[in-house]
Amino acid sequence: MNNTAKRIRTIGCICLGIALLLWAGTIAIDPSPANAPAPFAEQAEGKAASAQTHAAIGSSTIFQSPSEDQTTWQANATTQHVTLANPAGNAVDMAPHIHVDLDGSGSFEDGECVFNPIVRDEAGNVVDWGCFIAPGKQIDSITLSRTIPEGTYAARLSFTALDVRTHGETNPMSFEFTLHAQ
């Protein structure tokens, strides 16, 4: 066998080896079910995207902003009627978080997250994103971590999106709105 044939065979073996390593790597990065996001206990089948659906980010993620009738909450109650949906076809699990500027500072602090807070360690690293809504599912009411006194507040609904396959963070989105607690 001449040197050229040996080189071609060696290059072919190297390419095959690289291809096998890349293929094996795609299997290795797919996390086990134990690392999958925790779903909300009560998820219903999602409805078709409504007029309040906004902002297609990338090519596959659709987020739904709060509808006008869901920006008035019952004051001093922990259960609120709010529909949060992850439209079918999204390739992400969504963790919704709601912050209310309770102190009127004009910013949303971690301590002002009244629904599905993100848990961080002492260094500020995310330990837990909270519960997620699967693609094609929705929740129709939420339980707040504290009551909201009567008044008008700046509020923010934000979504942490994790790729359904890799569970890596992708395409976050937030919507600011005025919350009326009556």
Q: Give the model confidence (pLDDT) of 15-61 as tens digits.
A: 444 544 444 443 333 333 334 456 666 665 654 444 344 434 444 57
Percent of the chain surpassing pLDDT 70:
64
Predicted confidence at residue 130, as pLDDT, reads 93
Q: What pairing do the DSSP bridges indicate for beta strands 72-73 and 79-86? A: unpaired
In degrees rounded to 5, what are phi and psi of residue 146? -155, 160
Looking at every residue in the chain, the average pLDDT score rounds to 77
- The mean pLDDT of 92-102, rounded to a whole number, is 95
Q: One-letter amino acid identity for 98?
A: I
In degrees rounded to 5, what are phi and psi of residue 25? -65, -35
Q: Which two tokens stand for residue 108?
A: 């949303």
Q: What pairing do the DSSP bridges indicate for beta strands 173-181 and 72-73? A: parallel
Domains of the chain, with CATH numbers? 68-181 (2.60.40)
How far separated are the first and last CA of the chain, in Å rounded? 87
**Cβ pair 114, 144 in contact under 8 A:** yes
Q: pTM of this prediction?
A: 0.69
Predicted confidence at residue 171, as pLDDT, reads 81
- pLDDT tens, residue by residue, 135-164: 999 999 999 999 999 999 999 999 999 999
Reported as a pLDDT band with limits 50, 70 and 90, residue 63 is: confident
